Amino acid sequence: MNVDNLISVVAVVRNHADIIKEFIDDLTETLSRFYSNYEIVLVDNGSTDSTVEKIQGLQKEVRNVRLIVLSRQYSEEITYIAALENCIGDFVTLIDPCFDPPQQIPQMIAKSQSGYDVVIAESKGDADKGIIDRVGSKIFFMISKYLTGYDVSPSFSKFIVLSRRAVNSITRIKDRNRYLKFLLLEIGFKRISIPSSSINRRYYRPNQNYFSAFAFAIEAIVSNSEKLIRLAALTGFFAGLLNLCYVLYVLVGYLLYHNQIAAGWTSTQVVGSTMWFLLFLILAIIGEYLARVLRATRGGDLYYIADESNSSVCPSDIERKNVI
């Protein structure tokens, strides 16, 4: 049993009332067998069911459980930062209550203790995902690799273990537009991926909102790349050159073939429409970057905490002073 390090396991919950007891029981059983000092940090992201009440009830029975209740529902990426900022462990595990197996935590922490600051659970397969999810994920990571330089495997999950210095580095990044998988590469620390098998406590996967997923993909790429706006500027420059060449062509044609100048209405419309299309495309891209700048310059914290509570159960060994 490890007695030298404090282990933090953090999870974001939202409307998990039906599985929260099973999750905490499994997590506690694994952690208590391998570690003397640990904490379970649960961040509630605007639950509308009895999730908070059930966790508070379990805090009277299970030790080392800490609950952070956010003031409202935030984006998934903001809740991850809230979870990381509110844990104190030497090694921190980020886990999904529905799909990640707690039994794999000791193996991942052992890897991190051997010298890896970032340990990522890599899914063995994506057969449980729909074809749209699989194809869309591959396209997103292929495009993002070119535009951002971050080479993220589509099989990387958000079941990860981080060393304390990796957590500190990530939480110091205060950008409002963030993507955890990119941040893991941005900090540049030593990392490794290990194969993992997912579970399913609910026996179904929630329906994917493809519009929201597409909007997030655009935001993630725009927020982490300057190439897109430079590509837009370059496109505008060449479109301007083409337009200039067309003007010269029209002038030369008028001088040489002024009797036939009425011809070519179709080509004029095609060229005009193309130029307008490029113009509005460039404006759309610039608009996205301006939106990012506006959001980044807004004041206020990334999130607000409405309530906090801790387990009221004392350790069985009264002489052992736990920091939780």
Q: How do residues 227-269 score in pLDDT, each as one tens digit?
A: 777 777 777 777 767 766 776 766 676 677 666 656 665 567 6
Same domain, 109 and 14: yes
**Residue 323 falls inside a structural domain:** no
Integer angstrom CA distances of residue 4 from 34, 37, 80, 86:
12, 8, 26, 21
pLDDT of residue 296: 64
CB contact at 8 A, 228 and 222: yes
Give this prediction's pTM. Answer: 0.74
Same domain, 203 and 57: yes
> Does residue 157 have a pLDDT over 90?
no
Residues in the chain: 324
For residue 290, with 0-12 CB atoms within 10 Å meaning exposed, 13-18 middle and 19 or more buried, which class applies? exposed
What CATH code is carried by the domain that includes residue 130? Answer: 3.90.550.10
CB contact at 8 A, 185 and 150: yes
Same domain, 140 and 250: no
**Residue 321 falls inside a structural domain:** no
**Residue 318 falls inside a structural domain:** no
Same domain, 132 and 170: yes
Same domain, 25 and 40: yes
Same domain, 77 and 179: yes
Q: What angle do CA 152, 156, 159 make, to 5 degrees?
A: 135
Region of poorest pLDDT, from 42-46, 54-58, 280-284: 280-284
Same domain, 79 and 180: yes
**Residue 237 falls inside a structural domain:** yes
Into how many domains does the chain fold? Answer: 2
Same domain, 164 and 270: no
Rounded-to-integer distance, Cα 31 and Cα 220, Å? 34
Same domain, 160 and 93: yes
Where does the pLDDT of residue 41 fall: very low under 50, low under 70, confident under 90, or very high at 90 and above? very high
Please give the average per-residue pLDDT across 110-129, as a whole number. Answer: 83
Nearest to residue 123, comparing CAs of 148, 140, 101? 101
Same domain, 220 and 276: no
> Does residue 204 have a pLDDT over 60?
no
**Residue 320 falls inside a structural domain:** no
Where does the pLDDT of residue 2 fall: very low under 50, low under 70, confident under 90, or very high at 90 and above? low
- The boundaries of the domain holding residue 278 are 227-296
Region of poorest pLDDT, from 86-90, 164-168, 212-216: 212-216
Q: Which of 38-42, 124-128, 154-158, 194-198: highest mean pLDDT?
A: 38-42
